[in-house]
Structure 1
Amino acid sequence: MKPLFDLSAYADRRATFFDRALPNAALLLPSSPVSQRSHDLIHPYRADNDVSYLTGLEEPESVALLLGGADPKVVLFVRPRDPATEKWDGARLGTEGAVSILGADEAYPIDELKQRLGELLAGRDALYYRLNHRRDVDSVVLDTLDALRGARRKPDQAPGAILDPRPVLHDMRRVKRPEELPILRRAAEISAEAHLAAMRHCKPGMMEYEVAALLDHEFRRRGGNGPAFETIVGGGANAIVLHYITNHEALREGDMVLVDAGAEYKLYNGDITRTFPVGKAYSGAQRDLYQAVLNVQVEAIAKVGEPGQSPDSLTNWSRRELTRALVDLGLLSGDVDELYESEAYQRFYMHNLGHYLGMDVHDVGSYFVGVDKARPFDAGVVYTVEPGLYIPTDDDIPEAFRGLGVRIEDDVLVTENGPEVLTSAAPKAIDEIEAIRREAL
């Protein structure tokens, strides 16, 4: 129940939000609901990232009401203590814990939200609340505002505007604060150690799901919560399916295997992709394709630190460079510039170069300022760099390349001194990988 960070960190984040928000505003954040798995079973609960980021609260069936202004206040609506239920499902904070552990100024049972919300919102000029996200909470909010506006004595007590908090809040989360970085580094380290273990233990004839299970084991035994997302283990032509999570086929000698996996650690995530031979070495075509992707990936990481670079500019750069590589490999023919302009690369490289990483694997925050101006990298951003080439099995493809898929992904922290690769402990050079594979077999 102890919050992930010192309470002062959450107070600083809330102050930053209200500094960027309209004056005299309130922010209402409901937690994520419990997700049903089947008849009477539920999925393990995963805390709502926005709620946790601003309050440290990680429980379901709760609502955080944050009040800005000269006298800021945290009001938490939580599940009350219930000894009988807690014997089955575990301890709850209760209203007392919300105050003593999370530092709330006021705490009430969640059933009292409708009763108390009007009094707490009265006199606020703006309410930041995401409509159509939690319909059950929507009805409480809209009924409360309607009642405030209909009050005879003080009809001007209702907030005059409802605004989506995500543009402000998610831009804050895009740039990591100093206290977040050690946790992100550890998530990356656990992920890298697990990938190295997969390279060391993978053998021809193993099932893809065995490799996924090995990764899960490594994540957990190193202190992680488990996989940050459904692990991808794609052997052979399964590697050309971008989000292949079936993981039910045997790994064959002579094929490559693409492993896209990361650990969740204390609500933060790692995300790494490595592509290595099931046997001891890459074949000629495999080696050529892999090296082409690696060359682009290494140079893209270096470019993350260049002034003015953005995720959008680097994605476009990677498309051009991979187009050039495809021509060199004989998979495209013609002028590189013309092929790039015609988007011929889309047949082999259909995704962006990377994504933000943090509490969400595909973390929040806009890639553009306004409608179409690319947002440059800021110090404190963590971004994945993951170019790939996915060669279809079509008859017009040279036979040696058919069904080959390569993606190489690292997690990169943007700093004032250049890029810091958080996942460098996972080998990616051909010589390093082949040495590990020879030792494994």
Structure 2
Amino acid sequence: MLPEPLPRPAPISPEEFAARRERLMAELPEGSAVLLPGATLKTRNHDSEFPFRQSSDFHYLCGFPEPEALLLLLPGRAAGEAVLFCQEKDPEKEAWTGIRIGPEGAVQDYGMDEGFDNGRRADLVDMLDGYTSLYLPLGDGVAMALAERARSQLSTRARRGAVAPTRFADVSELIHELRLTKSEAELTLMRHAAHISALAHCRAMRASRPGRHEYQLQAEIEHEFAWHGARAPAYGTIVGGGANACVLHYVENSAPLVDGDLVLIDAGGEFDLYAGDITRTFPVNGRFSASQRALYDIVLAAEERAVAAVKPGATLESIHQGVVRDMTAGLLELGLLSGDLETCIESGAYRRFYLHSTSHWLGLDVHDVGSYRVSGEPRPLEPGMVVTIEPGLYIPDADDIPAEYRGIGIRIEDDVAVTADGGEVLTPQVPKAAEEIEALMGRPD
């Protein structure tokens, strides 16, 4: 009997999207407007497209889910500050690709003040008359072409009183600062994405057997995502057995799983565009060897201490330095490093085995946006931020490494939301203690 899918949480409301737009417009200098295109369809091969995924910044401001859309924010405009251009209603095309929302739906269902067909994009020139600054994604070709056209055409009307935008500025940083702190509605979606991701990892643990292939565990993971409504992975699923786990962004997922090896899975589902991001490492056959367990417990202790350190005022830099200290001490104890602790930290000797930082922001993007430093200093954590904690050890297959440790890769990753007085682990449903993993893998399918 198939399990019931998790109940779906409520989507972000039109009122919250409107409040986001208001916050953005409040950050703009007087006389400024915003021009922001949505994502476009991308050809996969011949006449087939990749599955459409809206751009994160565009989604954050309006939630409109269709391609080829354009958002204008026009502070102070009497006819309405939020204007959306989108695909027109077209029964013939809709018979092939589905019902379109259309301009009326953009107003009625998505809270826009006005909606227009894309065929009327020329009208945006008149709408921008009087705005001296235009905020847009400066690297976006569509946005830049529209902005240049508006400036050129309005400049030719200057003698008739038209005012053209003479300054273009990047809107991305302003949006990214807003995105860094999540609302309660966003956290609800992220908890759901994390829960789905955790269930998927549990499913893969139960499915692991020597002789199966990495892609079969990937199939188990992604089946669980889809079953619970996470229609796509938040990023490419990583399933690395044995030494493949030492390749940080291993993508082949094609090798057989070998009895006695570990397998590392880094995978997260995307729900309503919000990402889950979990890594677990476990024995293919369900039992850790002594050497695997020794390394695993070093990573686990560092990860648990780092998770406990997430709180307002802490920095990701300080959390990372704590992980470095814990991991280096463990490597010294096992004889994989030699010397004293402080020297190994200062020289960076640990970097042979620990190749990456401990954390990144998480949200609409798996490596979410937002500055990690403020005025050159590490940014203090604040309630509403969401981070990953993901220490890892990757032991090369080298002659100077004891044979029992060669080719072992271990990473453990959880998602943590910063709260008023600490951190909320969003991913508790999947075990990480070695005994708990072994117990889960010992259960029948």
- Quote the residue 1:45 is aligned against: 52
Q: Aligned pair 1:376/2:380, yes or no?
A: yes
Structure 2 distance, partners of 1:197, 1:385, is 22
1:417 to 421, 424, 430: 421
Partner-residue secondary structure (3-state), 1:137: helix
Deviation at 1:154, TM superposition (A): 5.1
**Residues 227-285 of structure 1, C-alpha deviations (whole Å, 9 max, x = no match):** 11111110000000001110001101100000111111111111100000111311111
Deviation at 1:317, TM superposition (A): 2.5
Deviation at 1:359, TM superposition (A): 0.9
Could you say if the C-alpha distance between residues 436 and 152 of structure 1 is closer, same or farther in structure 2, counting changes exceeding 3 Å?
closer
Q: Aligned pair 1:334/2:339, yes or no?
A: yes
Q: Is the 8 A contact 1:355 1:363 kept in 2?
A: yes
Unaligned runs of 5+ in 1: none
- Quote the residue 2:220 is aligned against: 214
Q: Is the 8 A contact 1:385 1:412 kept in 2?
A: yes
Q: Is the 8 A contact 2:299 2:412 kept in 1?
A: yes
- Quote the residue 2:211 is aligned against: 205
Deviation at 1:23, TM superposition (A): 2.3
Structure 1 distance, partners of 2:212, 2:137, is 47
Equivalence map 1:17-416=2 (5 Å): 17-69=24-76, 73-113=81-121, 115-133=122-140, 135-153=141-159, 157-305=163-311, 307-370=312-375, 372-416=376-420
Q: Is the 8 A contact 1:23 1:69 kept in 2?
A: no
Letter aligned with residue 334 of structure 2: L
Structure 1 distance, partners of 2:146, 2:286, is 62
Give the ranges of 4+ consecutive aligned residues of structure 1 lying more than 4 Å apart after TM superposition: none
Partner-residue secondary structure (3-state), 2:339: coil
Could you say if the C-alpha distance between residues 299 and 205 of structure 1 is closer, same or farther in structure 2, counting changes exceeding 3 Å?
same
Structure 1 distance, partners of 2:133, 2:250, is 44
Q: Is the 8 A contact 2:332 2:341 kept in 1?
A: yes
**Residues 114-158 of structure 1, C-alpha deviations (whole Å, 9 max, x = no match):** x2122111111321111222x133222112112223323256712
Structure 2 distance, partners of 1:148, 1:185, is 48
Deviation at 1:45, TM superposition (A): 0.2
Q: Is the 8 A contact 2:242 2:262 kept in 1?
A: yes
Structure 1 distance, partners of 2:54, 2:214, is 30
Structure 2 distance, partners of 1:99, 1:352, is 44
Matched residue pairs, number?
435
Structure 2 distance, partners of 1:83, 1:156, is 39
Letter aligned with residue 391 of structure 2: P
Normalising by structure 2, we get a TM-score of 0.94
Q: Is the 8 A contact 2:260 2:285 kept in 1?
A: yes
**Residues 171-229 of structure 1, C-alpha deviations (whole Å, 9 max, x = no match):** 11010011111111110111111111111121111110000001111111112113111
Q: How well do the aligned residues superpose, as a CA RMSD in angstroms?
A: 1.6
Partner-residue secondary structure (3-state), 2:159: coil
Q: Aligned pair 1:437/2:441, yes or no?
A: yes
Structure 1 distance, partners of 2:83, 2:124, is 10
Letter aligned with residue 313 of structure 1: S
Determine what percentage of the aligned residue pairs are the same residue: 45
Q: Is the 8 A contact 2:241 2:263 kept in 1?
A: yes
Q: Aligned pair 1:6/2:13, yes or no?
A: yes
- Quote the residue 2:3 is aligned against: none
Structure 2 distance, partners of 1:386, 1:217, is 24
Structure 2 distance, partners of 1:411, 1:324, is 25
Deviation at 1:299, TM superposition (A): 0.3
Structure 2 distance, partners of 1:136, 1:430, is 51
Partner-residue secondary structure (3-state), 1:158: coil
Structure 2 distance, partners of 1:407, 1:186, is 23
Structure 1 distance, partners of 2:160, 2:310, is 54
**Residues 360-413 of structure 1, C-alpha deviations (whole Å, 9 max, x = no match):** 11111111113x211111100110000000000011111110000000000001
Letter aligned with residue 137 of structure 1: A
Q: Is the 8 A contact 2:313 2:382 kept in 1?
A: no
Q: Is the 8 A contact 1:127 1:159 kept in 2?
A: yes
Q: Is the 8 A contact 1:257 1:276 kept in 2?
A: yes
Q: Is the 8 A contact 1:381 1:414 kept in 2?
A: yes
Q: Is the 8 A contact 1:348 1:390 kept in 2?
A: yes
Letter aligned with residue 386 of structure 2: V
Partner-residue secondary structure (3-state), 2:158: coil
Deviation at 1:440, TM superposition (A): 4.7
Unaligned runs of 5+ in 2: 1-9
Partner-residue secondary structure (3-state), 1:153: helix
Q: Is the 8 A contact 1:348 1:389 kept in 2?
A: yes
Normalising by structure 1, we get a TM-score of 0.95
Deviation at 1:17, TM superposition (A): 0.9
